[in-house]
Structure 1
Amino acid sequence: MIAIKPWYFSRTIWASLITVLTGAAGLSGLPVEAGDGGLITDTVLQGVSAVSGLIAIFGRLSAKDRIG
């Protein structure tokens, strides 16, 4: 593995965070369906991808220096 990616693109990190949050929600009395963990992870990853894309576009539009 030579390629480096930001932590927020890691499916393992997001699946782990969802698992922890689901467990905490269950302990606090909030009913959570265990079978939907994969769907929740995919949805969160899509949201993170959309937000990071918007940040990249906004960053490029507000940049003072040109590329190249």
Structure 2
Amino acid sequence: MPTYQYKNLNTGEVFEVTQRITEAAWTVHPESGEPVKRLISKPGIAFKGSGFYVTDSRPSSSSSEG
């Protein structure tokens, strides 16, 4: 399950909540009842460099079979 960051709009407190993707975003803090907003954050994974294409793992067609 993904972890989402929320910000309390009154106090500025930022906290994390693990929720299902299908759950609606919170609009109030469950304990204090104060308004909260879901923050947009960077993804937890980034693919950089070579090695992530189908052609990278196949041998070249010019290789000789002997």
TM-score (norm 2): 0.24
Structure showing greater Rg: 2
Which structure carries more strand by proportion? 2
